[in-house]
C-alpha cells in the first residue's frame, strides 16, 4: 500500500517562514536565483512569491532589489493598536465558542511552554503557536485571516520582546490568566487579559528600542 507524501510548502510559505525565523532579517536583500537554489525550485514560483510579499508590504524596493521591510516607530505603534484589538476580540470569542478540547490544549501549551522561559527564540515560536490556537478557538474565519496578516507583519521586527529580562516568565503568567478566563467562559475578562498582555509586550518592545538607541550613540 503506497503512502501519501505530505504536501510540500510553496515558495511563498518557505520565504515567509525564513523571514519569520530570522534567516532573512529587515534590510536583507532577497535574490531570486539564491532563493531558488536554497528551496530547490524554479525561479518562476519564487518570483511570484516575492511579488505577493511585496504587495503585502513584507518586502520593499531598494533600487531594483527587493529587501525585507522594516517597521519604523509609527508603523510598529499602528500594528500593536490593531493587534491589541483583534487579539482581544479573538479571546472574547474563544471564551464563547472554544470547545473543551481546545481549552485543554491551551492549558497544556502554557504548561509545556514554561520549560522554554530561558530560551527566547524557542519561547517566541511557542508564543506564536499559543496565540494562533486562541485565534482558531474564536471560530471566526475572517478574524483568523486578519490576525494571520498581523502576525506575518510582526516577523519584520528584528527582536522579540520575550528576550527582555524577566519578560518570558511574566508572559507565561499572562498566558495562564488568559486561558483561565477563556475556560471560565468570561468573555470580558478574556478580552481584557489578552489586551493587557499585548500592551505590556508593546511597552517592553518600546523599552528595548530605547535601550538600543542609547547604546548606538
Which pLDDT score is estimated for 165? 82
**Domains (ranges, CATH) in the chain?**
11-68 (1.10.10.10), 73-216 (1.20.120.530)
Residue 178: closest CA among 80, 92, 99: 92
Q: Please tell me the pTM assigned to this model.
A: 0.81
Which pLDDT score is estimated for 8? 63
Residue 159 phi/psi, 5° resolution?
-130, 170
Q: Which three cell numbers stand for residue 119?
A: 530560551
Which pLDDT score is estimated for 3? 46
Query: E strand or H helix at 30, and its extent?
Result: strand 29-30
Which pLDDT score is estimated for 146? 95
**pLDDT, tens digit only, all 217 positions of the chain:** 444 444 467 899 899 888 877 788 889 999 999 999 999 999 999 999 999 999 988 999 988 889 999 888 898 999 999 999 999 999 999 999 999 999 999 999 999 999 999 898 889 889 999 999 999 999 999 999 999 989 888 888 867 787 788 899 999 999 999 999 999 999 999 999 999 999 999 999 888 878 777 776 5
Which pLDDT score is estimated for 96? 98
DSSP H helix total and E strand total for the chain: 9, 3
Which pLDDT score is estimated for 30? 95
Which pLDDT score is estimated for 144? 97
d(CA 191, CA 90): 7
Residue 29: closest CA among 71, 75, 72, 60: 60
Residue 134: closest CA among 82, 181, 79, 200: 181
d(CA 46, CA 199): 36
8 Å CB contact between 175 and 183: no
Which pLDDT score is estimated for 217? 57
Which pLDDT score is estimated for 118? 86
Query: E strand or H helix at 78, and its extent?
Result: helix 73-97
Which pLDDT score is estimated for 2? 41
Amino acid at each position: 500500500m503506497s503512502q501519501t507524501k505530505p504536501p510540500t510548502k510553496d515558495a511563498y510559505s518557505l520565504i515567509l517562514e525564513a523571514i519569520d525565523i530570522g534567516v532573512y532579517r529587515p534590510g536583507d536583500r532577497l535574490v531570486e536565483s539564491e532563493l531558488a537554489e536554497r528551496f530547490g525550485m524554479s525561479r518562476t514560483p519564487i518570483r511570484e512569491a516575492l511579488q505577493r510579499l511585496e504587495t503585502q508590504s513584507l518586502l520593499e524596493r531598494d533600487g531594483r532589489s527587493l529587501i525585507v521591510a522594516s517597521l519604523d516607530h509609527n508603523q510598529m505603534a499602528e500594528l500593536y493598536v490593531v493587534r491589541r484589538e483583534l487579539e482581544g476580540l479573538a479571546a472574547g470569542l474563544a471564551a464563547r465558542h472554544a470547545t473543551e478540547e481546545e481549552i485543554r490544549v491551551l492549558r497544556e501549551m502554557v504548561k509545556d511552554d514554561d520549560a522554554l522561559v530561558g530560551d527566547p527564540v524557542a519561547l517566541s515560536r511557542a508564543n506564536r503557536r499559543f496565540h494562533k490556537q486562541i485565534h482558531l478557538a474564536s471560530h471566526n474565519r475572517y478574524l483568523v485571516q486578519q490576525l494571520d496578516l498581523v502576525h506575518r507583519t510582526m516577523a519584520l521586527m528584528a527582536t522579540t520582546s520575550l528576550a527582555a529580562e524577566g519578560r518570558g516568565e511574566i508572559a507565561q503568567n499572562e498566558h495562564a490568566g488568559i486561558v483561565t478566563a477563556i475556560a471560565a467562559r468570561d468573555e470580558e475578562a478574556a478580552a481584557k487579559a489578552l489586551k493587557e498582555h499585548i500592551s505590556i509586550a508593546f511597552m517592553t518592545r518600546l523599552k528595548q528600542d530605547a535601550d538600543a538607541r542609547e547604546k548606538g550613540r
